[in-house]
């Protein structure tokens, strides 16, 4: 080697180090403020959701009932705490669960269209529920109240495990995993059609209503189960925050940084399948949250998982909570199934996002 | 000081043998080593094998390392469309395996890596907006920010303009000296190898065909045999060896 050949580093019109750090600190602060704003919006939406119904309450009454339940009338307490609260909170928990599931599926599969629905997990759950509704089949013996959700949950998890098992085969790429999910959707759609063909008219109505998705199925015990799963899964995902962020740079780059993409992908797929399966099992098929929630979070907060993960949870929860409000006010006196609302609002909103912010959204 | 010795290192993809019993003397920290060879010679595989990303016989022995993860690797650029700024993408490279809490020291290291590579002004840019060459420099920053004792670079100059090629290789050589870091770079430009590297190892079809001081390794005979080109190596007006390629054989 020959000495004395050094070239000067590329000259920079560089901001000072303090300015660069200032940029990053400002970025972090902005994201923290956005998360705080989403939390505030979520609380407001929850209050409005609680206030609306056949018996209307003012926001001040709702907040009073939340803060000091003994200060309001017994009737208000029963309506707000016993009847509306599980439904309103279920909207938050299910919204957060589906959105987080979609966010991480998109992350690990590098596909903006990955969600519990495109991977067939929701279709599997619908098939499980339909078996119970149409023919009274209980895949696992369970209490009457829980036959439908348990059937839905078991089928959703079986679908997820089938995808995992197939994805473990040699030569299966992440693109193939998405295609396997789409194949699952078609299989379960065909099986659903078969069930509806043989089932009674009444059973078909029940199946159709279930697949529309409805928060009115929520009860306190179901809420605790869904919340418990979310509370366990979120920290497990957060633990992999840096690795999951690195996955968005591609497998080769992530691997070069010490991440084990295949193992991480499988672990995360199991965790988010659990989230999605629980959510769908308790409230039925609620579309587009798993797709729209993560995309909004990505636009607002970028893809650093320290912000993206809580952001996706908050966005999903907020969308479903607002959806719950809309389901009560669009046709006075009628609660429209929430799945219809999220699809009606979600599809145009999603198109708007994709077309107006194409680059930033993925 | 860190050293890296390859001892009978082999690798296979299925039944196909990609690397065959690569054995080298110890490469020491402070040196820049060129990994040379035509396309599909096994250069990237050798890097992946050293990192332990591939199984196989033999061993890549690291001695004298003072950190838990002494090796950083910059793979060939594949592009990325994540919604991350350059600063964040370099930060996440440093934070792998660490807690979610970012300390002031981590931010300083990111700044230093960006500054070392002359791309501090790119910090706030989205990585999806970068040119291929800028992405390559960010890739180098992601490797450097890990404070490696051994730095493996897979074709780090392939997308860079001439100015940035010279600049990057100069910077890497300087950092190797200052930090007693061993740098191994897969290069296609043998002129750069002659100018910027101390040692060279040459792979051909997965076998090590030459290894030693770069000037002794890169010879017209080797170029004809391995690269199938007729070339001369002559001293330039400043006395440095200069590669003059005449024709493909």
Structural domain ending residue among the three candidates B90, B114, B146: B146
Dist. CA A140–CA A131, nearest whole Å? 12
Residues 6+ apart with CB under 8 A from A232: none
ipTM entry: 0.90
CATH of domain A94-361: 1.10.3470.10
Dist. CA B120–CA B122, nearest whole Å? 5
Give tens-digit pLDDT for B113-155: 999 999 999 999 999 899 999 999 999 999 999 999 999 999 9
B115 and B132 in a single domain? The answer is yes
Q: Is residue B191 part of a domain?
A: yes
B100/A250 touch (CB, cutoff 8 Å), yes or no: no
**Chain B nearest CA to A135, separation (Å):** 47
With beta carbons less than 8 A apart as the criterion, state whether A49 and A325 touch. yes
A255/B53 touch (CB, cutoff 8 Å), yes or no: yes
Dist. CA B215–CA A158, nearest whole Å? 62
Q: Is residue B226 part of a domain?
A: no
B162 and B46 in a single domain? The answer is yes
Enter the tokens of residue A276: 């999605």
Considering its fold, how many domains does chain B have in total? 2
Dist. CA A101–CA A275, nearest whole Å? 6
Residue ranges per structural domain of chain A: 94-361
Residues 6+ apart with CB under 8 A from A332: none
B204 and B162 in a single domain? The answer is yes
Please state whether beta strands B27-28 and B3-7 pair in parallel, antiparallel, or not at all (unpaired).
Answer: antiparallel
B120 and B156 in a single domain? The answer is no
Please give the pLDDT value at position A18.
57
What DSSP element (H or E) covers B74? strand B71-74
Dist. CA A343–CA A216, nearest whole Å? 18
A5/B95 touch (CB, cutoff 8 Å), yes or no: no
Q: What confidence category does residue A110 fall into, taking pLDDT thresholds of 50, 70 and 90? A: confident
B155 and B32 in a single domain? The answer is yes
Query: Which residue from A minimizes the CA distance to B166?
Result: A7
Please give the pLDDT value at position B137.
95
Query: Which residue from B minimizes the CA distance to A6?
Result: B170
Give tens-digit pLDDT for A194-247: 999 999 999 999 898 888 888 888 899 999 999 999 999 999 999 999 999 999
- In this prediction, residues A278-290 reach a mean pLDDT of 87
A303/B128 touch (CB, cutoff 8 Å), yes or no: no
B16 and B104 in a single domain? The answer is no
CATH number for B8: 3.40.50.300
Dist. CA A283–CA A299, nearest whole Å? 28
**Where in the sequence is the domain holding B59, given as residue range(s)?**
1-70+148-214
Q: Is B19 exposed, middle or buried (0-12, 13-18, 19+ CB in 10 A)?
A: buried
What DSSP element (H or E) covers A340? helix A338-356
Q: What confidence category does residue A15 fall into, taking pLDDT thresholds of 50, 70 and 90? A: low
Q: Does pTM surpass 0.90? A: no
B127 and B138 in a single domain? The answer is yes
Which residue's entry shows tokens 């690798």? B11
Dist. CA A95–CA A209, nearest whole Å? 19
Angle at alpha carbon of residue A65, lines to A92 and A337, rounded to 5°: 35
Dist. CA A310–CA A201, nearest whole Å? 43
Dist. CA B180–CA B32, nearest whole Å? 10
With beta carbons less than 8 A apart as the criterion, state whether B70 and B1 touch. no
Q: Is residue B174 part of a domain?
A: yes
What DSSP element (H or E) covers B19? strand B16-22
Of the residues A3, A4, A8, A9, the best mutation for testing chain B's interface (the one with the most B CB atoms within 10 Å of its CB) is A9
Dist. CA B60–CA B50, nearest whole Å? 6
Q: Is residue B233 part of a domain?
A: no
B168 and B118 in a single domain? The answer is no
The distance of Cα B177 from the centroid of its chain, to the nearest Å, equals: 15
B86 and B57 in a single domain? The answer is no
A positions 287-326 inside 8 Å of B (CB)? 298-299, 302-304, 306
Task: Give the bridge partners for B235, in sequence order.
Answer: B241
B15 and B137 in a single domain? The answer is no
Q: What confidence category does residue A33 fall into, taking pLDDT thresholds of 50, 70 and 90? A: very high
Please give the pLDDT value at position A11.
45
Please check the confidence at residue B45 and state whether its pLDDT lies above 80: yes
Q: Is residue B238 part of a domain?
A: no
Which residue's entry shows tokens 């999605």? A276
Dist. CA B8–CA B24, nearest whole Å? 9
B131 and B23 in a single domain? The answer is no
- In this prediction, residues A112-135 reach a mean pLDDT of 89
A12 touches chain B (CB under 8 A): yes
Other beta carbons within 10 Å of A30 = 13
Please give the pLDDT value at position B163.
94
Give tens-digit pLDDT for A294-306: 999 999 999 999 9
B65 and B156 in a single domain? The answer is yes
């Amino acid at each position: 080697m020959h000495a004395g050949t050094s070239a000067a580093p590329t000259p920079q019109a560089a901001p000072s180090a303090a300015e660069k750090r200032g940029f990053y600190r400002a970025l972090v602060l902005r994201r923290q403020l956005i998360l705080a704003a989403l939390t505030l919006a979520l609380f407001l939406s929850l209050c409005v959701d609680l206030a609306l119904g056949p018996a209307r309450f003012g926001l001040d009454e709702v907040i009073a009932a939340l803060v000091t339940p003994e200060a309001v009338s017994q009737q208000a307490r029963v309506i707000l705490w016993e009847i509306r609260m599980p439904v309103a909170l279920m909207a938050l928990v299910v919204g957060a669960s589906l959105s987080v599931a979609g966010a991480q599926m998109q992350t690990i599969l590098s596909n903006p269209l990955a969600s519990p629905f495109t991977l067939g997990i929701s279709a599997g759950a619908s098939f499980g529920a339909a078996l119970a509704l149409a023919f009274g089949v209980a895949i696992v013996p369970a209490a009457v109240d829980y036959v439908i959700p348990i059937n839905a949950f078991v089928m959703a998890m079986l679908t997820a495990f089938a995808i995992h098992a197939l994805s473990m085969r040699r030569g299966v790429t992440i693109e193939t995993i998405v295609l396997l999910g789409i194949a699952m959707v078609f299989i379960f759609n065909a099986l659903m059609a078969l069930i509806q063909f043989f089932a009674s008219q009444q059973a078909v109505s029940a199946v159709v209503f279930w697949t529309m998705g409805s928060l009115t199925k929520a009860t306190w015990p179901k809420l605790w189960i869904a919340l418990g799963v979310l509370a366990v899964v979120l920290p497990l995902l957060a633990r992999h925050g840096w690795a999951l962020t690195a996955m968005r740079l591609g497998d080769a780059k992530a691997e070069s940084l010490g991440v084990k993409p295949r193992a991480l992908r499988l672990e995360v797929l199991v965790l988010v399948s659990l989230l999605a399966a629980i959510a769908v099992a308790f409230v039925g098929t609620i579309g587009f949250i798993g797709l729209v929630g993560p995309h909004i979070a990505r636009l607002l907060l970028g893809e650093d998982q320290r912000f993206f993960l809580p952001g996706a949870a908050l966005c999903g929860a907020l969308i479903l909570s607002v959806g719950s409000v809309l389901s009560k006010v669009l046709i006075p006196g009628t609660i429209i199934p929430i799945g219809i609302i999220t699809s009606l609002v979600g599809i145009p909103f999603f198109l708007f996002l994709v077309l107006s912010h194409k680059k930033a959204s993925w | 000081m860190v050293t890296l010795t390859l001892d009978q290192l082999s690798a296979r993809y299925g039944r196909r043998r990609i690397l065959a019993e690569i054995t080298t003397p110890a490469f020491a920290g402070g040196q820049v080593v060129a990994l040379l060879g035509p396309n599909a010679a096994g250069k990237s595989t050798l890097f992946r094998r050293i990192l332990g990303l591939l199984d196989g016989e033999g061993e890549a022995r690291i001695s004298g390392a003072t950190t838990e993860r002494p090796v950083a690797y910059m793979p060939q650029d594949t592009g990325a469309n994540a919604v991350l700024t350059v600063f964040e993408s370099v930060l996440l490279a440093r934070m792998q395996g660490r807690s979610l809490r970012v300390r002031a020291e981590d931010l300083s290291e990111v700044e230093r890596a960006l500054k070392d590579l002359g791309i501090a002004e790119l910090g706030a840019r989205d990585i999806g907006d970068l040119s291929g060459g800028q992405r390559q420099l960010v890739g180098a920053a992601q490797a450097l920010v890990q404070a490696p004792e051994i730095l493996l670079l897979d074709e780090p100059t392939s997308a860079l303009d001439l100015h940035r090629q010279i600049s990057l290789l100069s910077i890497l050589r300087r950092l190797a000296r200052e930090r007693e870091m061993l740098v191994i770079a897969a290069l296609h430009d043998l002129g750069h190898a002659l100018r910027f590297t101390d040692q060279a190892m040459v792979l051909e079809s997965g076998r090590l065909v030459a290894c030693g001081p770069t000037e002794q390794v890169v010879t017209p005979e080797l170029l004809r045999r391995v690269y199938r080109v007729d070339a001369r190596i002559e001293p330039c007006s400043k006395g440095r060896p200069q590669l003059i390629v005449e024709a493909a054989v």
